[in-house]
């Protein structure tokens, strides 16, 4: 037997000990991995071997107040994704070429994505069904693995630019970025679902496994307080007013004074939320390529900005409402006490602050007459009697130093003087709406308080939140914040605002079928050469039982008609009140006999022979004009104006026979002209005219020099004395 040395035995024992220790360590590690960390490594393996793709939830639909008109909705579209490691390397170039042809996308870009060493890439989003089907056909026919076509969602706004600043829009991930889409994003967005599939260590999809589908939870629907028809009415008038008067922008808000519901809200220029990153004016389009990325971003943010709630301006004379309320509530004066005097200006400290009619002072006046005449000296004298603490008490009562609380993002706070640092000049200028700033919405809320009998209401834009099943999850109720004046004060001011329309500076807003209340405004922003004006007007109708408050502001108008609120905004607000109340089926205040309306209905002449048409038109007091020779038995196929319109006897109906093209005329510019001269100009052009008021033409509802069909009706609004408009 061979001799084994002691050292050898020691080395063997040491090796056995090391091996035993290694076995113990390995066994311990095995226990640690399989038992202690089992859940961790199981999850890690699952993560490495599975890929999940989100399935977008259908975003909630936004309806107007009728619950029928869809303002925003999500429709099914498709998304094409790829797992690059699962796509055959030898086929990637041909796949990119074929997909680029089907999808009409850049081939190099698709190929670059297919070559990426990542778990998943997006080839294309928002793919319409026709293209998606072609892609699927190509993939199946050529047995291409690693590329899938899945359902996606596309947000669409069926009415285009309508209500765009209120609705807002969504980003590429369908997340709300502005407007209602952003404010109510958590309600609208829902919860996404998932598609889960298995992959091997090389990133290739494993065979004989099935995808798991976790359904998405749909977003909730919203029903707004906004009426799409009223919104269409105000946008029609606002765009025309901004363009004709070369204003930087304009805003209109329509509210129901009893509840605070916003029935319409618009800004112009507007934009299309279907293409929110497309410049909205020709000027911006022309400059776009030369702009820096920062300038582009700033321009887009301005384009999306809801200026009716986000921009503050000096309101001008519509702010005299607050001073009037304070005067009556503090018992400084009764509304008909003739205790004020206008000499054309008031000296405050070292300043001579003028009345707008300084060249022909108003003389002795009551508060009512001060409102009617929009006389700055009356309100400066009121504020001097009142003092700073009392005046500021009503600033706070109207919440003008805070936000209204409307359910929209980006609302601005009114900018008021610091009471502790306020001077007598600050008090005087604030009393008639200068050196302080508020939003268009705040002005609307102010006048709602007078129209509803003295209560400050919180404006709101969403009326109902409901699930996709139609069940109402939440109904938003109107909220009265507080009473800020007595019913007597509200009634007195309403009567003064009615007199302002009938006899004062707001006569330009007078309409034939309803008695409305109103107030003009001409605000100033900046001083001297940098002055920019704000033309404004508030209309309330009907005055006896107010259904709507309409506020309109035009910022920095530079057109030939000047910058006065009475001239630029009064007639527009009057027309909006008239159309809106008739749409809401509000009973008129006056009968035909009371308004001395001599108009008759235009008869239907289409389908009649020329001889019959002549007789029918003559019986109604109309004459017929046509572009060519008509035999007695010629059949009339078209007429302008259409039957159902109303005109005074003597108007002309343009008639056409089969195959004749329409004839057009250029609309004359009769603004500031005597009414008889204006009528003659339209008749010479072959157009019909409807006259509202007497004296001189203030506005016309068709833009001068526009081409319209012969026989069309143009309405002109007239006032007795243009010099009496501020």
Write out pLDDT tens, residues 71-102. Answer: 999 988 888 888 888 888 888 888 888 888 88
Q: Using alpha carbons, select from 707, 622, 623, 632 the residue that is nearest to residue 664.
A: 707
| Measured distance CA(700)–CA(703) in Å, rounded | 7
> How many residues are listed for the chain in this entry?
726
| Measured distance CA(466)–CA(455) in Å, rounded | 30
Q: Using alpha carbons, select from 662, 660, 714, 657 the residue that is nearest to residue 685.
A: 714
* CATH domain 52-224 topology: Penicillin-binding protein 2a (Domain 2) (3.90.1310)
Strand 340-342 relative to strand 623-626: parallel, antiparallel, unpaired?
A: unpaired
Is the pLDDT score of 50 beyond 90?
no
| Measured distance CA(259)–CA(630) in Å, rounded | 58
Helices and strands (H, E) in the chain, number of each type: 24, 31
Strand 688-692 relative to strand 713-719: parallel, antiparallel, unpaired?
A: parallel
Strand 664-666 relative to strand 696-700: parallel, antiparallel, unpaired?
A: unpaired
Is the pLDDT score of 673 beyond 50?
yes
Q: What is the pLDDT of residue 645?
A: 84
Calculate the CA 219 to chain-centre distance.
23
Angle between helices 440-451 and 320-329 (to 10 degrees): 40
The CB-side HSE value for 668 (13 A sphere, CA atoms) comes to: 19
Highest mean pLDDT among 284-298, 434-448, 675-689: 434-448
> What percentage of residues in the chain have a pLDDT greater than 70?
91
pLDDT in tens, 540-561: 999 999 999 999 999 999 998 8
pLDDT (mean) for 119-126: 84
Token pair of 514 as six digits: 């309803």
pLDDT in tens, 324-346: 999 999 999 999 999 999 999 99
Is the pLDDT score of 283 beyond 50?
yes
Is the pLDDT score of 200 beyond 60?
no
Q: What is the pLDDT of residue 49?
A: 53
* 3-state SS assignment for residue 191: strand
Write the DSSP string, 636-697. P-EEESPTT-EE-TT-EEEEE-TTPPP-EEEPP--TTSBHHHHHHHHHHTT-EEEEESSSEE
Q: What is the pLDDT of residue 206?
A: 56
pLDDT (mean) for 19-42: 71
Is the pLDDT score of 304 beyond 70?
yes
Write the DSSP string, 106-147. -HHHHHHHHT--SS-EEEEEEE-HHHHHHHHHHHHHTT--SE
Q: What is the pLDDT of residue 69?
A: 95
| Measured distance CA(242)–CA(561) in Å, rounded | 12
Token pair of 294 as six digits: 């920062």
- Place 472 in a pLDDT band, splitting at 50, 70 and 90: low
Q: What is the pLDDT of residue 593?
A: 43
Assigned superfamily of 316-593: DD-peptidase/beta-lactamase superfamily (3.40.710.10)
Is the pLDDT score of 193 beyond 80?
no
Is the pLDDT score of 500 beyond 60?
yes
| Measured distance CA(603)–CA(146) in Å, rounded | 70
Q: Which residue has the higher pLDDT, 184 or 14?
A: 184
Q: What is the pLDDT of residue 127?
A: 86
Q: What is the pLDDT of residue 45?
A: 56
pLDDT in tens, 370-392: 999 999 999 999 999 999 999 99
Is the pLDDT score of 196 beyond 70?
no
For 176, which DSSP code?
B
Strand 532-541 relative to strand 517-525: parallel, antiparallel, unpaired?
A: antiparallel
Q: Using alpha carbons, select from 78, 84, 170 the residue that is nearest to residue 125.
A: 78
Is the pLDDT score of 68 beyond 60?
yes
| Measured distance CA(626)–CA(635) in Å, rounded | 12
578-615: string of b/e by CB count within 10 Å (b at 16+)? bbbbeeeebebbeeeeeeeeeeeebbebeebbbeebbe
CATH of domain 595-724: 3.30.10.20
Q: Is the dihedral of CA 316, 321, 327, 330 positive or negative?
A: negative
* 3-state SS assignment for residue 92: helix
CA–CA distance from 551 to each of 373, 539, 698 (Å)?
19, 7, 20
pLDDT in tens, 133-169: 888 888 888 888 888 888 777 899 999 999 999 999 9
CA–CA distance from 290 to each of 271, 277, 278, 300, 534 (Å)?
21, 16, 15, 15, 31
pLDDT in tens, 208-254: 455 566 666 888 999 999 999 999 999 999 999 999 999 999 999 99
Mean pLDDT of the chain: 88
Q: What is the pLDDT of residue 40?
A: 62
Q: What are the φ/ψ torsions at residue 152 (nearest 5 degrees)? A: -135, 175
pLDDT (mean) for 666-693: 88
Is the pLDDT score of 718 beyond 70?
yes
Is the pLDDT score of 36 beyond 90?
no
Q: What is the pLDDT of residue 490?
A: 97
């Amino acid at each position: 037997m061979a001799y084994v040395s002691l050292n050898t035995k020691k080395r063997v024992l040491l090796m056995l000990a090391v091996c035993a220790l290694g076995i113990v360590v390995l066994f311990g590690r095995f226990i640690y991995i399989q038992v202690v960390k089992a859940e961790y490594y199981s999850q890690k393996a699952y993560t490495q071997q599975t890929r999940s793709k989100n399935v977008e939830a259908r975003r909630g639909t936004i309806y107007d107040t009728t619950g029928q008109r869809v303002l925003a909705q999500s429709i099914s579209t498709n998304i094409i994704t790829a797992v690059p490691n699962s796509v055959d390397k030898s086929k990637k170039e041909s796949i990119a070429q074929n997909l680029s042809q089907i999808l009409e996308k850049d081939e190099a870009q698709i190929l670059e994505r297919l070559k990426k060493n990542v778990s998943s890439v997006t080839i294309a989003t928002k793919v319409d069904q026709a293209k998606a089907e072609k892609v699927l056909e190509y993939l199946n026919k050529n047995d291409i693995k690693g590329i899938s076509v899945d359902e996606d969602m596309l947000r669409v706004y069926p009415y285009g630019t309508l209500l765009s600043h209120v609705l807002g829009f969504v980003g590429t991930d369908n997340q709300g970025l502005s407007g209602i889409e952003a404010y109510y994003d958590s309600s609208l967005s829902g919860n996404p679902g998932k598609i889960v599939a298995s992959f091997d260590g090389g990133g290739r999809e494993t065979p004989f496994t099935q995808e798991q589908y976790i359904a998405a939870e749909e977003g909730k629907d919203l029903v707004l307080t906004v009426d799409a028809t009223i919104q269409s009415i105000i946008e029609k008038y606002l765009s025309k007013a901004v363009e004709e008067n070369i204003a930087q922008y304009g805003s209109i808000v329509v509210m129901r004074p009893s509840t605070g519901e916003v029935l319409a809200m618009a800004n112009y220029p507007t934009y299309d939320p279907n293409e929110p990153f497309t410049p909205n004016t020709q000027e911006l389009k022309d400059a776009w390529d030369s702009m820096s990325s920062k300038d582009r971003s700033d321009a887009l943010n301005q384009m999306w900005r809801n200026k009716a709630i986000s921009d503050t301006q000096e309101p001008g004379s519509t702010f005299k409402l607050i001073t009037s309320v304070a005067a009556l509530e503090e018992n400084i004066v009764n509304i008909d006490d003739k205790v004020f005097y206008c000499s054309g200006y008031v000296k405050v400290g070292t300043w001579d602050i003028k009345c707008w009619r300084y060249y022909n002072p108003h003389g002795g006046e009551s508060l009512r007459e001060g409102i009617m005449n929009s006389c700055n000296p009356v309100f400066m004298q009121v504020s001097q009697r009142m003092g700073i603490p009392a005046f500021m008490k009503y600033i706070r009562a109207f919440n003008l130093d805070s936000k209204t609380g409307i359910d929209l993002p980006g609302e601005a706070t009114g900018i008021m003087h610091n009471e502790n640092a306020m001077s007598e000049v600050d008090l005087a200028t604030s009393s008639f709406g200068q050196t302080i700033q508020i939003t268009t919405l705040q002005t609307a809320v102010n006048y709602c308080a007078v129209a509803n009998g003295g209560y400050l209401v919180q404006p709101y834009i969403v009326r109902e939140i409901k699930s996709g099943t139609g069940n109402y999850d939440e109904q938003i109720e109107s909220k009265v914040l507080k009473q800020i004046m007595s019913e007597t004060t509200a009634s007195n001011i309403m009567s003064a605002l009615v007199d302002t329309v009938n006899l004062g500076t707001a006569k330009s807003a007078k309409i034939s079928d309803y008695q409305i209340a109103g107030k003009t405004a001409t605000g100033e922003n900046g001083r001297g050469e940098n002055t920019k004006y704000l033309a404004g007007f508030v209309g309330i109708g009907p005055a006896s039982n107010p259904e709507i408050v309409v506020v309109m502001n035009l910022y920095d108008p530079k057109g030939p008609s000047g910058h006065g609120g009475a001239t630029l905004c009064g007639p527009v607000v009057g027309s909006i009140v008239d159309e809106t109340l008739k749409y809401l089926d509000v009973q008129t205040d006056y009968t035909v006999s009371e308004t001395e309306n001599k108009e008759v209905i235009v008869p239907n002449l289409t389908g009649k022979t020329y001889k019959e048409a002549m007789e029918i038109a003559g019986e109604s007091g109309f004459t017929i004009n046509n572009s060519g020779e008509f035999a007695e038995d010629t059949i009339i196929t078209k007429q302008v104006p259409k039957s159902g319109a109303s005109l005074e006897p003597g108007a002309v109906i343009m008639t056409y026979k089969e195959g004749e093209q329409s004839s057009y005329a250029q609309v004359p510019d009769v603004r500031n002209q005597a009414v008889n001269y204006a009528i003659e100009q339209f008749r010479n052009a072959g157009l019909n005219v409807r006259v509202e008021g007497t004296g001189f033409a203030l506005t016309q509802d068709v833009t001068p020099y526009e081409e319209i069909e012969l026989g069309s009706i143009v309405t002109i609004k007239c006032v007795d004395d243009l010099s009496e408009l501020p």
